[in-house]
């Protein structure tokens, strides 16, 4: 049982966390309400045609991307699972690389791919010109599938690799398993369904809230996130474009609801999936020889994952000329000197790394505390309290980057305008956004710790500090390293909130610098290569962080992230 003091301590921490996470959003909503003269519910129901169009495009894109990820990801996961353990490990890592690739780099990567890769590029370009949601939407969908593919492989491959083939052999002999369809129903669907559902739900969430790829690959598509980010700057101003304040408020509510539904689905699916994983673990070590087709498929997935990133590097040294193109370091030189962009590559690098380190410094203790609080409430059988803290920490998943950025901006303007220019603003926003990931990684690891371990340590005479530093910390180190690594990579690549907030802070991160170079009129042929050069640095940085973290990762850490 928990002591009353402990309960007060929890409450004293929950309250500020709630204010910090939800306060800015509430104040922003209140301001939009006051300016637009319409409450959030009415604003959402009474959305203008432009608002509905953006909601509809968001849903379409996210839905198609989810289907694409499941259709492409499932065979790839099977193929990866059939590979021998060592090869499987590096291949899975390679396929997962896009997922930690900053979104703006993903956008640039597909622009580069269309530009430099000859046949693939021209196919993609032709396909993109024929429309679904406007020019570029095919490239956009491919990019979304590319980005989220590892959600499926990360969740399915471990389960598949551990499935003992003898099981299936036995199933074939049974009446419930004598046709492929029956085997699918009796075995594959129960085992894979929840994982696929969770992966599809997460893809829906990420695709729904993607900003950089939509902004640059499908310049004429308007999604909710794009509308919030690009037009949000004009919202919340009394007597100025009040219709816009209503539109922003209404679409934000619609987005929140859509993401809420996705979050509920993901949550339910992950719980099932977690249970299945326990049942299927350690049955089999999966070292049977891989078939040639499956190896070919797995290899193509690796190539698919890596090609766009290589295209960025290539495009950074490729300069267009009136008669074609030439190779040169002009783009790199321009990016380094920052002549036209103002901010040089080195300054932006320092800002990005500094912001990322601060993000980890804020998100790790808060996330650690959240996870411990959830766990101790669970163990004390306070299910409600456990759920409340868990949900609070998950709240940022239901709001997008643009909403956090706008919320911080409009919320702070009301109470602490001086903070707007403060360098802590960006790490705070990033920490908020990455908190769910940190908690999701730490919590299962904490749950897996035997609960009598600390009691035994206490019996042996260890004080609370030693119990923490000698028992808990070492056992949780792998999860902590993975969580910190993900937080670091996330902050480095975060684009939406940064894009909204750096306009107030005066410092530019690498992700925002890539965008600034892309947005510049391209009369000068070295402008695009300069964007590619900055994107190369950012992509390599994020990949480096991920590869550094990878050796700490175990299949059960990360909940698919």
**Binding segment (CB under 8 A) for another protein, from list 132-140, 432-440, 448-456, 482-490:** 132-140
Find the largest Cα–Cα distance for the chain.
Answer: 80
Q: Does residue 393 contact residue 436 with C-beta atoms inside 8 Å?
A: yes
443 or 516, CB closer to another protein?
516
Q: Pick from 30, 93, 280, 372: which binds another protein (CB under 8 A)? A: 30
143 or 546, CB closer to another protein?
143
Q: Could you give the angle at which helices 527-550 and 292-316 cross, rounded to 10 degrees?
A: 140
Q: To the nearest whole angstrom, how small is the minimum distance from the Cβ of residue 181 to another protein?
A: 32
Q: Pick from 220, 287, 451, 455: which binds another protein (CB under 8 A)? A: 220
- When asked if residue 22 is in the footprint of another protein (CB under 8 A), the reply is yes
Question: Is the sign of the CA dihedral 551, 556, 557, 558 positive or negative?
Answer: positive
Residues 137-166, interacting with another protein (CB under 8 A): 139
Taking residues 104 to 123 in sequence order and writing x for each that binds another protein by CB under 8 A, - otherwise, the string is: -------xx-xx-----x--
- When asked if residue 3 is in the footprint of another protein (CB under 8 A), the reply is no
Q: Pick from 102, 136, 177, 286: which binds another protein (CB under 8 A)? A: 136
Count Cβ atoms below 10 Å from residue 288 Cβ, excluding itself. Answer: 11
Q: What is the DSSP letter of 283?
A: S
Q: Pick from 524, 544, 551, 554: which binds another protein (CB under 8 A)? A: 524
Residues linked to residue 376 through DSSP beta bridges, in sequence order: none
Q: Pick from 189, 240, 327, 415: which binds another protein (CB under 8 A)? A: 240
Residue 327 has phi, psi (to 5 degrees) of: -105, 140
338 or 560, CB closer to another protein?
338
**Binding segment (CB under 8 A) for another protein, from list 170-178, 196-204, 342-350, 437-445:** 342-350
State how far the Cα of 270 lies from the Cα of 280, in Å rounded to an integer.
15
109 or 434, CB closer to another protein?
109
Question: Is the sign of the CA dihedral 93, 98, 101, 105 positive or negative?
Answer: positive
239 or 289, CB closer to another protein?
239
Give the 3-state secondary structure of residue 424.
coil
State how far the Cα of 152 lies from the Cα of 81, in Å rounded to an integer.
12
Q: To the nearest whole angstrom, how small is the minimum distance from the Cβ of residue 340 to another protein?
A: 4
Residues 54-93, interacting with another protein (CB under 8 A): none
256 or 286, CB closer to another protein?
256
Q: What is the DSSP letter of 449?
A: S
Question: Is the sign of the CA dihedral 357, 316, 121, 79 positive or negative?
Answer: negative
- When asked if residue 328 is in the footprint of another protein (CB under 8 A), the reply is no
Structure tokens at 450: 């035997």
Q: Does residue 371 contact residue 194 with C-beta atoms inside 8 Å?
A: no
Structure tokens at 291: 């078939």
Q: Does residue 238 contact residue 195 with C-beta atoms inside 8 Å?
A: no
Q: Pick from 1, 3, 12, 49: which binds another protein (CB under 8 A)? A: 49
Total of residues contacting another protein (CB under 8 A): 90
Q: Does residue 35 contact residue 242 with C-beta atoms inside 8 Å?
A: yes
- When asked if residue 545 is in the footprint of another protein (CB under 8 A), the reply is no
Residues 270-299, interacting with another protein (CB under 8 A): none
Q: To the nearest whole angstrom, how small is the minimum distance from the Cβ of residue 515 to another protein?
A: 9
Q: Does residue 160 contact residue 243 with C-beta atoms inside 8 Å?
A: no
Q: To the nearest whole angstrom, how small is the minimum distance from the Cβ of residue 255 to another protein?
A: 12
Taking residues 492 to 521 in sequence order and writing x for each that binds another protein by CB under 8 A, - otherwise, the string is: ----------xxxxx-x-------x--xxx
Q: To the nearest whole angstrom, how small is the minimum distance from the Cβ of residue 175 to another protein?
A: 37
Residues linked to residue 325 through DSSP beta bridges, in sequence order: 320
For the CA atoms of 83, 87, 89, 90, what is the dihedral angle to 10 degrees?
-130
Residues 352-411, interacting with another protein (CB under 8 A): 387-388, 390-392, 394-395, 398, 409-410
226 or 546, CB closer to another protein?
226
Q: To the nearest whole angstrom, how small is the minimum distance from the Cβ of residue 194 to another protein?
A: 16
- When asked if residue 35 is in the footprint of another protein (CB under 8 A), the reply is yes
Q: To the nearest whole angstrom, how small is the minimum distance from the Cβ of residue 412 to another protein?
A: 10
Count Cβ atoms below 10 Å from residue 85 Cβ, excluding itself. Answer: 10
Please count the residues of the chain. Answer: 561
Residues linked to residue 320 through DSSP beta bridges, in sequence order: 325
- When asked if residue 29 is in the footprint of another protein (CB under 8 A), the reply is yes
Give the 3-state secondary structure of residue 187.
helix
152 or 533, CB closer to another protein?
533
528 or 553, CB closer to another protein?
528
Count Cβ atoms below 10 Å from residue 292 Cβ, excluding itself. Answer: 8
- When asked if residue 333 is in the footprint of another protein (CB under 8 A), the reply is no
State how far the Cα of 232 lies from the Cα of 235, in Å rounded to an integer.
5
- When asked if residue 135 is in the footprint of another protein (CB under 8 A), the reply is yes
Q: Pick from 175, 239, 289, 461: which binds another protein (CB under 8 A)? A: 239
Structure tokens at 398: 């239901």
Q: Pick from 10, 17, 25, 255: which binds another protein (CB under 8 A)? A: 25
DSSP state string for 92-134: HHHHHHHHHS-HHHHHHHHHHHHHHSTHHHHHHHHHHHS-SSS
67 or 260, CB closer to another protein?
260
Structure tokens at 114: 């269309």
- When asked if residue 463 is in the footprint of another protein (CB under 8 A), the reply is no
Structure tokens at 90: 């590096």
Q: To the nearest whole angstrom, how small is the minimum distance from the Cβ of residue 242 to another protein?
A: 10
107 or 302, CB closer to another protein?
107
């Amino acid at each position: 049982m928990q002591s009353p003091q402990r309960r007060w301590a929890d409450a004293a921490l929950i309250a500020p966390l709630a204010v910090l996470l939800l306060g800015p959003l509430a104040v922003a909503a209140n301001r939009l309400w006051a300016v637009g003269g319409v409450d959030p519910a009415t604003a959402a129901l009474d959305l203008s045609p432009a608002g509905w169009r953006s909601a509809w495009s968001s849903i379409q894109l996210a839905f198609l991307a989810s289907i694409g990820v499941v259709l492409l990801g499932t065979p790839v996961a099977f193929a990866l699972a059939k590979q021998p353990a060592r090869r499987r490990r590096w291949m899975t890592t390679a396929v997962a690389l896009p997922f930690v690739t900053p979104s703006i780099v993903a956008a640039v990567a597909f622009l580069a791919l269309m530009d430099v890769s000859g046949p693939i590029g021209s196919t993609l370009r032709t396909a993109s010109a024929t429309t679904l949601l406007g020019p570029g939407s095919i490239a956009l969908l491919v990019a979304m599938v590319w980005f989220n593919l590892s959600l499926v492989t990360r969740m399915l491959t471990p389960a598949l690799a551990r499935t003992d083939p003898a099981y299936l052999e036995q199933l074939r002999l049974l009446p419930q398993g004598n046709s492929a369809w029956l085997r699918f129903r009796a075995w594959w669907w129960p085992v894979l369904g929840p994982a696929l559902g969770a992966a599809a739900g997460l893809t829906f969430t990420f695709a729904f809230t993607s900003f950089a790829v939509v902004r640059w690959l499908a310049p004429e598509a308007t999604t909710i996130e794009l509308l919030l980010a690009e037009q949000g700057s004009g919202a919340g101003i009394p007597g100025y474009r009040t219709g816009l304040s209503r539109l922003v408020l209404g679409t934000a509510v619609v987005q929140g609801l859509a993401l809420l539904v996705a979050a509920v689905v993901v949550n339910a699916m992950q719980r099932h999936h977690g249970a299945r994983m326990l049942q299927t673990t350690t049955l089999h070590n999966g070292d049977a020889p891989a078939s040639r087709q499956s190896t070919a498929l797995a290899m193509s997935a690796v190539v698919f994952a890596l090609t766009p990133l290589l295209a960025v590097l290539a495009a950074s040294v490729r300069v267009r000329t009136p008669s074609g193109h030439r190779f040169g370091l002009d783009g790199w030189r321009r990016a380094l000197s920052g002549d036209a962009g103002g901010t040089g590559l080195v300054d932006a690098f320092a800002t990005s790394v500094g912001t990322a380190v601060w993000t980890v410094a804020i998100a790790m203790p808060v996330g650690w505390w959240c996870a411990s609080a959830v766990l101790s409430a669970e163990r004390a059988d306070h299910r409600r309290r456990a759920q409340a803290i868990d949900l609070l920490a998950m709240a940022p998943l239901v709001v997008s980057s643009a909403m956090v950025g706008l919320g911080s901006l409009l919320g702070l303007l009301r109470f602490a305008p001086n903070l707007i220019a403060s360098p802590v603003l960006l790490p705070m926003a990033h920490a908020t956004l990455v908190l769910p990931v940190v908690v999701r990684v730490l919590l299962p690891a904490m749950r897996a710790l035997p609960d009598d371990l600390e009691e035994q340590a206490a019996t042996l005479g260890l004080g609370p500090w030693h119990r923490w530093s000698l028992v808990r910390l070492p056992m949780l180190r792998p999860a902590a390293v993975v969580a910190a690594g993900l937080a670091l990579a996330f902050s480095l690549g975060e684009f939406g909130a940064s894009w909204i907030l750096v306009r107030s802070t005066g410092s530019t991160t690498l992700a925002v610098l890539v965008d600034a170079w892309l947005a510049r009129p391209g009369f000068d042929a070295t402008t695009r290569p300069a964007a590619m050069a900055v994107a190369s640095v950012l992509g390599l940085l994020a990949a480096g962080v991920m590869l550094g973290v990878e050796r700490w990762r175990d299949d059960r850490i990360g909940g698919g992230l």
